[in-house]
Chains A and B, each alone.
Chain A
């Protein structure tokens, strides 16, 4: 099977390498909870991220992109497939081994309100990773937390405040400071700016990009806002119903999208000038149920170009250009 082998320059093994990752949620019914059906949340995705690279993962709500992020973090157990971080297969790591891996792989969540414990002070929240790994004494920890506060654009005096005393953007900065605390190599952003105002979004994205430049961080940036993804990503993967349908360097994906679904997604982006028009190609119908995904190509029910083969045979990702893979029979 073809996988996004073409990384950013160099032949170094990727920082994160995910192969054929599957997550099915069983739907249990009846007295003994026998699985009656399953939700195909993530259905065999492969992706890799090089050091210092940002991979954008986009798709509609419910396409499985957030689940993919949580499975990679092992916050949800994968059904099958493998997750490699710096060459180590962490798919079957137990809690103890995972704890050591967590220092290298962190997460920033979407909702800056529910991702901070309302009963803990800001300084405690950001300093908790140090306590968990027994790093430093109380004084040293406080110094580290203060410098993290400064690094993400907060004032150290704010350490004694509770989360509800911060604005949404500041809360997200707290989340980023917490993720940075352990000096990770990879940060998975699960729609980290989707819940913020547009002006604050820009600040947070710029902060993320500055941090990438400073620490050589890699990001898996999960989002549904294509403009944001275009700004921050080096490469972009498009997900539809649990599958990656196209992956390409940013310029190629936005300039010459190959998959009909990517085309439709790009066509749905509002244009910045009033009066500007684009040949709009709207998708018909709803996203099919992930409980019983369509046969063959999952997009064939809504694809304007579908041919009979699309409903029978599942298209595999194949190379169509430099670092550009697409899963479509027609390309």
Chain B
């Protein structure tokens, strides 16, 4: 009797799964796949910037200043005659590096702190109050303070954006750990003598992966935007490194006679953030069993 039930359950499940898993994802989540494709394309283009860029992004060429888009300069030039397309290709690198670094760094730090807060009651009380304090610091003020204390660099930008993001991850991880540690299978694992590291790695952390991946994409998108704000305000990426934010900031002065300096980096920024957010939404729906059953 037991065999019948087992075979019935086991026999029906794998058949549809084998029929092109990728095809099914594309059909079910077309927006997510589109977002992913755009993002990957941008990343490839950014990585290949030295090969693709038609001009040196920081080469001054006063004769060609403020040229509108034409066959020589596809996206025009800025007030110093620098090629916009080349600058934007290099700028994409800054956005992606900062976004990725912030997403990774805040996830790792948030995971570590969140696990400790979720597991140890005393640490929880202390850590969470510190996190509440960190969340109260406006990111822009922190960036300005850090820039004032040190030299402007991409590392400082990453740090300035990461610090206010960490508490969000901590809260998420802590909530998951708190709910999972009450699960019977965690109690069972303790009862069979499972030590803390294994308990964490095998029983608790695997359950945090799905929400963390989704959260990381949102942090990525947010970090790209914040980097642009900070650079626009002059407290982000130093002006000698082209980034979309500082390209827009420089172009702002000439926007009435040279719209392309603001329009193209602005559009690129919007497309990148949108594609990351769409990817994140798709991942959330795909990884949440309740949502995926409905769609």
- Residues in chain A within 8 A of chain B (CB atoms): 70, 73, 75, 99, 102-103, 106-107, 109-111, 114-120, 128-129, 131-133, 153-155, 158, 161, 164-167, 169-170, 175, 178-179, 181-182
Contacts and interface: CB of A to CB of B under 8 A. Distances in A.
Given A119-B206, A120-B202, A133-B193, A158 B6 contact: yes
B138 interface: no
Contact of B9 (A119, A167, A169): A167
A226 to B, nearest CB: 24
Contacts of B190: 75
A161 B206 contact: no
A116 B188 CA distance: 8
Where chain B touches its partner, the secondary structure class is helix
Given A70-B187, A119-B206, A167 B192 contact: no
Given A109-B188, A119-B206, A132-B198, A165 B10 contact: yes
Given A102-B191, A102-B193, 4 more contacts: A106-B192, A109-B184, A178-B192, A181-B192
Nearest to B185: A117
A167 B191 contact: no
A161 B193 CA distance: 23
Interface of B: 2-3, 5-6, 9-10, 13, 183-185, 187-195, 198, 202-203, 206-207
Contacts of B193: 99, 102-103, 129, 132-133, 182
Contacts of B185: 114-118
A70 B182 CA distance: 13
A114 B10 contact: no
Contacts of B207: 119
A169 B1 CA distance: 11
9 contacts: A75-B190, A106-B192, A107-B188, A109-B187, A128-B189, A129-B192, A132-B195, A161-B10, A165-B6
A169 B4 CA distance: 13
A111 to B, nearest CB: 6
A104 to B, nearest CB: 11
Contacts of A99: 193, 195
B171 to A, nearest CB: 19
Nearest to A114: B184
A244 B261 CA distance: 81
Nearest to B196: A95
Nearest to B10: A165
Nearest to B183: A114
Nearest to B4: A167
Contacts of B13: 165
B6 A178 contact: no
